[in-house]
């Protein structure tokens, strides 16, 4: 029987969150969309219910009543200030999500981590040497989040580990492997990641696991120049 209860999506207005809502709309999956600043009517996806929420400071457990699962598409954007002192979205934010879920009697959560929290043989050496150090403190938070989920009691969790995210259209051919990216799958499209997150919850797969998600892309998207330009580093 199809579960008609909504899925709570946090970070619903971000790139991955927006793509997730589009997939849900196409599949007629009910969503309760949580966002730090609720988008205007013309910027929303479908007629989903949007709720303004700061996971670091608000009490939102009551807003989860009736939901079947939580998907966190929250993420820390790279910037010089975030590289030095990232907001604790992955740590304190995820802890608050788990506590709210416990109060609302929800036991299923899927979050976004990153493939780069541990060594990946498919990741180019130049990325390890030049880009990854700039992400050090953000990756530390992701590792702490994964450990928190692993230690949580009575929670079915999935920590998705996408490759370097790419804002291009949905393909439907992302390669999903256990913990480490498949060879030549350095990048992951937001839209492919979003579809995977939704599938993990709706199909109840990758329970207590860290699926790595990526796909081969054209050289113009994977070159050192392209990645450095996205990071704003020389």
Q: DSSP 3-state assignment of 158?
A: strand
- 219 near 154, Cβ under 8 Å? no
Q: Kindly give the confidence (pLDDT) of every residue in the chain, 234 residues in length, as a single tens digit, with 9 standing for 90 and above.
A: 578 899 999 999 999 999 999 999 999 999 999 999 988 888 889 889 999 999 999 999 999 999 999 999 998 887 777 778 889 999 999 999 999 999 999 999 999 999 999 887 878 888 888 778 888 899 999 999 999 999 998 999 999 999 999 999 999 999 999 999 999 898 999 999 999 999 999 999 999 999 999 999 998 898 888 887 777 766
Residue 172 structure tokens: 């439907």
Angle, nearest 10°, between helix axes 94-104 and 136-151?
30
The pair of three-digit structure tokens given for residue 221, joined into one six-digit string: 């998207």
Contact (CB, 8 A) for 9 and 71: yes
């Amino acid at each position: 029987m199809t579960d008609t209860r909504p899925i709570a999506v946090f970070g619903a207005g971000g790139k991955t969150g927006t793509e997730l809502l589009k997939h849900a709309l196409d599949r007629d999956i009910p969503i309760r969309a949580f966002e730090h600043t609720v988008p205007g009517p013309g910027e929303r996806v479908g007629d989903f219910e949007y709720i303004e929420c700061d996971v670091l400071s608000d009490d939102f457990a009551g807003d989860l009543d009736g939901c079947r699962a939580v998907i966190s598409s929250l993420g820390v954007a790279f910037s010089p200030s975030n590289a030095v002192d990232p907001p604790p979205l992955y740590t304190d934010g995820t802890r608050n999500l788990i506590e709210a879920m416990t109060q609302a009697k929800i036991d299923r959560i899927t979050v976004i981590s990153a493939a780069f929290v541990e060594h990946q043989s498919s990741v180019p050496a130049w990325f390890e040497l030049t880009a990854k150090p700039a992400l050090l403190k953000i990756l530390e938070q992701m590792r702490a989040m994964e450990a928190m989920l692993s230690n949580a009691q009575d929670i079915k969790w999935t920590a998705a580990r996408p490759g370097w995210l790419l804002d291009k259209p949905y393909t439907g051919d992302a390669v999903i492997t256990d913990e480490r990216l498949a060879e030549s799958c350095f990048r992951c499209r937001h839209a492919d990641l979003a579809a995977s997150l939704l599938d993990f919850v709706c199909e109840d797969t990758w329970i207590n696991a860290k699926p790595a998600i990526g796909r081969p892309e054209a050289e113009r998207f994977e070159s050192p120049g392209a990645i450095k330009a996205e990071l704003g580093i020389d």
